[in-house]
Amino acid sequence: MAEKIPTADITDQLPEEIGEIDLYQKREKIYTRKIEGFFQRVRTYTGWPLLMGYFLMPWIDWGGQQSILFDLPARKFHILGLTLWPQDFPFLAWILIICAFSLFLVTKLFGRVWCGYTCPQTVWTSMFMWVEQRTEGTRNQRIKLDKGPWTREKVIKKTLKHGMWLGLAIWTGFTFVAYFTPARQLLSDFFNFSVNPWAFSWVAIFTMMTYLNAGWLREQVCMFMCPYARFQSVMFDSNTLIVSYDTQRGEPRGSRKKNIDPKAQGLGDCVDCELCVQVCPTGIDIRKGLQIECIGCALCVDACNAIMDKMGYPRGLIDYTTENRLRHSSDQKNLFLRLDVLGYAFAISIMVGLFIHGLLTRVPLELDIIRDRGALYERVDNDFIENSYTARIVNMSDDAHTFILSLDTNASGQIIGENTIFISPGDLAELPFRIRMAPDANPSPVLAITVNIRAQQHPQLNTSTETRFLRPTDSEYER
């Protein structure tokens, strides 16, 4: 059983006038301070590709079609040249399962790095915060601006900020709908004031949600709305990388001059500058230990390292580490060579292999044979036996084809009636047919028969399915 991460009761650290925490108390706005450092550059390298990919993919053509388009009316899903149909839903399920297990593996290894670096809420919030810093200034300038009276300068700055926020929100909402409606057509319809009411409604909804979530709610989404923060502790153990403050090295904290030895004054390395709190997007103090609000963004790590550099102290007072490393425990394990981590990796490898195999062997053609339930069999000339069927054929390719229905070469019967049918791309068609068999062809009353179908001009497009042929028993023949 994995060792649980120890927790601490911080009730005695609350102000005396606070008897209990009101869940409905007024939100205290968080003013984040801009900081630069290694991990913030990593966040830039992870965030910008996500943003560029999201906004540009609907405008990129791939094989003559929009690179990613979920065409719901036509029941087509175009993904980088691959066309999927509702019958291919298992592939979507596989993708979601693989993503879920991958998230579990990453969380087991590195904590909430998904939240800190690639979560859309984090990326969009960072973009909105950047706009806020560009329009209203530094942290202290924003605090002063909000506390000050409504002047002409304040109105201009607030209007510019919210205008840019709204522009980004509209662009985000429009792009989302462009994944379900051809982007160029959607843009033309907007300019011509002929946009579909449903498309307009969804653009408006996602515009509003983006504006509220990234501009106003921000950390509230991570702290109270996102379920990931609630079940992450199930996947953590004492060997999971988390952002932590080294209490043994940092305490007791206190201010001091740069060139004075802190040990001579009985102090730790923490200068109590609270820069780690000022840069935190959720407003927590990492020095109080692991908290559910921490999204692992490492802003506090870069802030603390900058102060350590100025003071001439070693870096790493706040850093990515594990509980066992902080306690110098003998139970420290290799980050990757752990049984649960290897189990996740093995499961993901198997699922990815099966998914790739399924894609490579996928045939964009579906055949279903339905027996006529009105009669088990029918006797025709010279005691020949016939069974009636209906072939339901789905052409999931991008081209129209003429398909030919046939029996397996080992079958002793033959198809009676029309055995060819023309089907447009994406259409479903039904072809009634009969199978005739001589009375002495097979003594068994139930015979398995394989029915094949192939495209006339493209024989490689083919599939088959098995059905049952019913015939009288010997005693019924004698009657």
Query: Would you give per-residue pLDDT tens digits along the chain (479 residues)?
Result: 455 555 555 555 544 544 455 555 677 899 999 999 999 999 989 889 999 999 999 999 998 889 999 998 888 888 888 888 888 888 888 999 999 999 999 999 999 999 999 999 999 999 999 999 999 999 999 999 999 999 999 999 999 999 999 999 999 999 999 999 999 999 999 999 999 999 999 999 999 999 999 999 999 998 888 888 777 777 888 889 999 999 999 999 999 988 888 888 899 999 999 999 999 999 999 999 888 889 999 999 999 999 999 999 999 999 999 988 888 766 777 888 889 899 999 999 999 999 999 988 899 999 999 998 888 888 887 778 899 999 999 998 888 999 999 998 677 788 998 899 999 988 889 999 999 988 776 678 888 889 999 999 998 999 999 999 988 875 555 55
pLDDT tens string 23-35: 556 778 999 999 9
Element (H, E) at 447: strand 446-455
Minimal CA–CA distance to 308: which of 276, 269, 252, 259?
269
Q: What is the distance between the alpha carbons of residues 107 and 113, in angstroms, rounded to a whole number?
A: 7
Give yes or no for a contact between 437 and 468, defined as CB atoms under 8 angstroms apart: no
Residues 178/186, Cβ–Cβ less than 8 Å:
yes
Alpha carbon distance 371, 466 (integer Å): 11
Q: Which helix (H) or strand (E) holds 419?
A: none
384 vs 371: CA distance, rounded Å: 18
Ramachandran assignment for 310, one of left (phi > 0), alpha (psi -120 to 50 degrees), beta (any other): alpha
Of 281, 308, 286, nearest in space to 297 by CA: 281
The 3-state DSSP class for residue 422 equals: strand
pLDDT digit string, tens, across residues 62-75: 988 899 999 988 88
Please report, for the chain, the start and end positions of each structural domain, with discontinuous segments joined by +: 1-6+27-362, 365-478
Instruction: Please state the separation of Cα 198 from the chain's center in Å.
Output: 25
Structure tokens at 303: 């802030």
Is the Cβ–Cβ distance between 276 and 304 less than 8 Å? yes
Which fold would CATH assign to domain 365-478? Immunoglobulin-like (2.60.40)
Does this model's pTM top 0.85? My answer is no
- Alpha-carbon gap, residue 416 to 381, rounded angstroms: 13
**Cβ atoms 435, 424 nearer than 8 A:** no
The pair of three-digit structure tokens given for residue 317, joined into one six-digit string: 């007072």
Bridge partners, residue 82, by sequence: 79
Cα angle 321, 247, 316; round to 5: 45
Biggest alpha carbon–alpha carbon distance for the chain: 113
CB 354 within 8 A of CB 306: no
- Sign of the CA dihedral with 463 first, then 97, 71, and 58 last: negative
Whether 71 and 185 have beta carbons less than 8 Å apart is answered as no
Q: At 324, list the tokens.
A: 């066992």
Whether residue 458 contacts residue 468, with contact meaning beta carbons closer than 8 Å, is answered with no
Sign of the C-alpha dihedral, residues 29, 147, 288, 46? Answer: positive
Per-residue tokens: 271: 């200068």
Radius of gyration of the CA atoms of the chain, in A:
33
Listed residue (44, 374, 58) closest to 187, CA to CA: 58
Residue carrying structure tokens 């909804």: 205
Kindly report, residue by residue over 290-340, the tens digit of the pLDDT.
888 899 999 999 999 999 999 999 999 999 999 888 887 667 778 888 898
User: Is 452 in contact with 464 (CB distance < 8 Å)?
Assistant: yes
